[in-house]
Structure 1
Amino acid sequence: MSALPPVSLKGRVLLVTGGTQGIGEGIARAAAEAGAAGICITGRDVARGRAVVDALGVPACFVAADLADAAATARIVDQAEAALGPVDGLVNAAGLTDRGTLLDTPVELWDRLFAVNTRAPFILTQALARRLVALGRPGAVVNVITMSSHGGQPFLTAYSSSKGALATFTRNSANGLRRARIRVNGINIGWADTPGEHAIQARDGRPADWLERAEPSQPFGRLIRPRDVAGLAVYLLSDAAEMMTGALIDFDQNVMGTYE
């Protein structure tokens, strides 16, 4: 029996959107620990982006970009490759989670969430896939989605819909790119302890100790943390997952479709 392939990113150059905090930062840090040859992160917070890049310990760059801007998004792969060389893997971790029900969501909010959560991953995946196909190189894409892509709560109408579209795009692009050996997989994340979630809880008027109150009620006693997700993302980017594409993995401590 042959040995299991290691979970290693040695020699790989990665592009991680939303890499200045939360899930994206966790994945970037884990990728560096797994031996990535270079990592480019994107985000809107320049100071935070530079701080993360400086802490990675591998060749890295930061591209300041608003993913709601299609033209700026279309330039990101070029910028990453100018700094680090050909990109082998993409992680679409950036996302907006603004609230809104069917009755009170304005069209502008709907469009903004779809632009960042769905259109940006499309633009970036397309740009990377075109380069990889032209070069005859394999590659991997990981889309950070959400359990809300299964339907979501009533106050997450636009968010859930945009992520549901991203889930479908994940499978469609995986099917279209598999002959080129470009793998595309997605992670449906459950309730997570991230800076973005803390900001949302504060905006919704929750007390400062909301996390301490929420965690004991969870089946495993805490919320998901960026480090938890990062390990799975690195696996999906590595050759250890080379036979896996089009998967949508529910990464949650609740089981979809069951009831207590």
Structure 2
Amino acid sequence: MSDRNQRHADTVAVITGGAQGVGLAIARQLAAEGCRRLVLAGRDAAKGETAVAELSGLGCSVRFVPLDLQDTDACLGLIDSAVAEFGTVTALVNAAALGARGTLVDTSVELWDQMFDTNARAPFFLMQGFVRHRLARGGGGHIVNILSNCAHCGQSYLAPYSGSKGALATLTKNVANAYRFDRIHCNAILPGWMDTPGEDATQRRFHGATDGWLERAEAGQPMGQLAKPHQLAKLASYLLSDDAGVMTGALIDYDQNIPGAYPE
């Protein structure tokens, strides 16, 4: 295995959702392992500025790009913008997503379109731009898509969300298969319930959560915690590195609850 603290010295990464939560945690981990060129994309410019200041303090050259994932042209332009800034891109992380609620019977056409445009179409065209760039450079490169354990099924109130993540799971395998001879790796992580700023907002908005909800939720989990972004980030960093070897097309469940298991 390469020197862990420097294995990303040559990595140039684009991370959507990079201003908070999982995306920012992955950016921090890459920086800790030698990455010095990062493009973060997201909706919140203020959070983007904060993330840029933090990572710049670690010695990184960082650019934040405001991005609406429902804007396909903007998604297509993100890789070009990163290449213009740093000369190349070697890694793409699709971490941003929309997590609104909707059941089969109450989901509107508008919500369905927003969900799939954000969670499936945007990653598709971001991967398109990335793969085109890597092919022009002779191949190589790594993609990590952040999915959800809901891709296996999901709760009743996550019908369109689960469907969009299932679509991205299939796309992950399709891209991996199509470009494996070009040494372009495409893998995905499927986290379960996570402790993120976005989850806090979601719990309060949709489920009436109050202060202390996280502690109460964690008390009922098998390992006494929700999954943490900084923990998942170490796995993502591995998948984005040459240490992952030939691994591609993998859908990795990242949770303490096991899909397909039933109460004893």
CA distance in 2, matches of 1:27, 1:12: 13
3-state SS of paired residue (1:97): coil
Matches within 5 A, 1:56-205: 56=55, 57=58, 58-203=60-205, 204-205=207-208
Q: Which moved more, 1:239-248 or 1:7-16?
A: 7-16
Q: Deviations over 1:166-198 (max 9, x none)?
A: 000000100001000000000000000001100
CA distance in 1, matches of 2:135, 2:78: 18
Contact 1:174–1:245, Cα closer than 8 Å, also in 2: yes
Identity of aligned residues (%): 49
CA distance in 2, matches of 1:244, 1:6: 19
- Name 2:233's counterpart in structure 1: 230
- Name 2:249's counterpart in structure 1: 246
1:209 Cα deviation from its structure 2 partner: 1.1
3-state SS of paired residue (2:256): coil
- Name 1:26's counterpart in structure 2: 25
**Number of positions where the alignment pairs a residue of Structure 1 with one of Structure 2:** 257
Query: Which letter does structure 2 place at the counterpart of 1:220?
Result: M
3-state SS of paired residue (2:225): coil
3-state SS of paired residue (1:66): coil
Structure 2 length-normalised TM: 0.95
Q: Deviations over 1:126-157 (max 9, x none)?
A: 11101111110310000000000001111000
- Name 1:55's counterpart in structure 2: 54
3-state SS of paired residue (1:200): helix
1:6 Cα deviation from its structure 2 partner: 4.2
CA distance in 1, matches of 2:19, 2:104: 31
CA distance in 2, matches of 1:87, 1:249: 24
1:71 Cα deviation from its structure 2 partner: 1.2
1:85 Cα deviation from its structure 2 partner: 2.0
- Which residues of structure 2 form unaligned runs of 5+? none
CA distance in 1, matches of 2:244, 2:136: 23
CA distance in 2, matches of 1:256, 1:120: 27
1:52 Cα deviation from its structure 2 partner: 0.4
CA distance in 1, matches of 2:137, 2:155: 43
Query: Which letter does structure 1 place at the counterpart of 2:166?
Result: G
Structure 1 length-normalised TM: 0.97
Q: Deviations over 1:78-122 (max 9, x none)?
A: 111222220000000000000000000001101101111001111
CA distance in 1, matches of 2:3, 2:146: 23
CA distance in 2, matches of 1:114, 1:186: 17
